[in-house]
Structure 1
């Protein structure tokens, strides 16, 4: 019988907390805005961590720049993560912009537009 909450899920949860702290308090880069770590997806062998994040008030170019900058800073962040987590090996970090929030906002906007057109009186 498989464990429902395995080791990789526990490590991913702890890594998410530590990454949030590191990006907020330790990494001092003025080019990075307010970053939120949404999810950490670890492989079963903990070798690779895909880190999904969002940025407050960023356009498309800003999002691409954040992905590029965070992936450049990945070795520094990984080193800091190694100091804070008690693991023999620290995963390789890959930062990916999570566009699910943007998609959700777009869907909500479309639904409100539909609702507005339904409430408008018929013009005959």
Structure 2
């Protein structure tokens, strides 16, 4: 096993050599818009994988894959000549999926933004289903409960409550009670 730093440096060097070879030495018209994006080398430095992208449609990608397979030996010999290592790694070309993945992520983000806008519009027009503070009891509700329990109706609940409190303190019957002392 080689040092990971050495493998990384060799992979970077192979990427540069492959890109330069495809640009300057190979005269195949099928390699029009090829970009070498990355290269990786196995731990034993015996195999190298070169990742590439192609600008164009599916037919351009297929033609480029065929052309890269044809020039694989030339790229390997250039790697061996320029690196000077004991064993020249075999070179495989693999189409890089980064552009497709990036386009897919952009589509997902675009749909997420659209759904966020819909939620924001729905939230702006929405009303709360209940009271803002459902645990806070309004004072008017307490007065209504007291009236229904007493069986009477009071026009002004707060004044009736005060007069009832004064009457019960003085020992007199309240508005809801009858005088049974007589």
| TM-score band w.r.t. shorter chain | 0.7 to 0.9
What secondary structure, in the 3-state scheme, does the structure 1 residue paired with 2:71 have?
Answer: helix
- Cα deviation, 1:63-110, whole Å, max 9, x if unaligned, reads 232222202210112122222222222111110001122111121023
The Cα RMSD (Å) is 2.1
Whether the 8 Å contact between 2:17 and 2:78 is mirrored in structure 1 is no
Counterpart of 2:62 in structure 1 is 64
Unaligned runs of 5+ in 1: none
- Paired with 1:44 and 1:117, the residues of 2 have a C-alpha distance of 46
- Paired with 2:84 and 2:114, the residues of 1 have a C-alpha distance of 54
Counterpart of 1:106 in structure 2 is 104
Counterpart of 1:87 in structure 2 is 85
What secondary structure, in the 3-state scheme, does the structure 2 residue paired with 1:54 have?
Answer: strand
What secondary structure, in the 3-state scheme, does the structure 2 residue paired with 1:31 have?
Answer: helix
When the two structures are superposed, what TM-score results if normalisation uses the length of structure 2?
Answer: 0.58
Unaligned runs of 5+ in 2: 123-182
When the two structures are superposed, what TM-score results if normalisation uses the length of structure 1?
Answer: 0.81
How far did residue 117 of structure 1 move? 4.3
Whether the 8 Å contact between 2:30 and 2:60 is mirrored in structure 1 is no
Counterpart of 1:11 in structure 2 is 10
Whether the 8 Å contact between 2:28 and 2:67 is mirrored in structure 1 is no
What secondary structure, in the 3-state scheme, does the structure 2 residue paired with 1:93 have?
Answer: strand
- Cα deviation, 1:42-82, whole Å, max 9, x if unaligned, reads 111211111111112x2223223222220221011212222
| Bigger relative contact order (CA 8 A; separation at least 6) | 1
Whether the 8 Å contact between 2:39 and 2:49 is mirrored in structure 1 is yes
Counterpart of 1:29 in structure 2 is 28
Please say which structure displays the higher CA radius of gyration.
2
Q: Which has the higher helix share?
A: 2
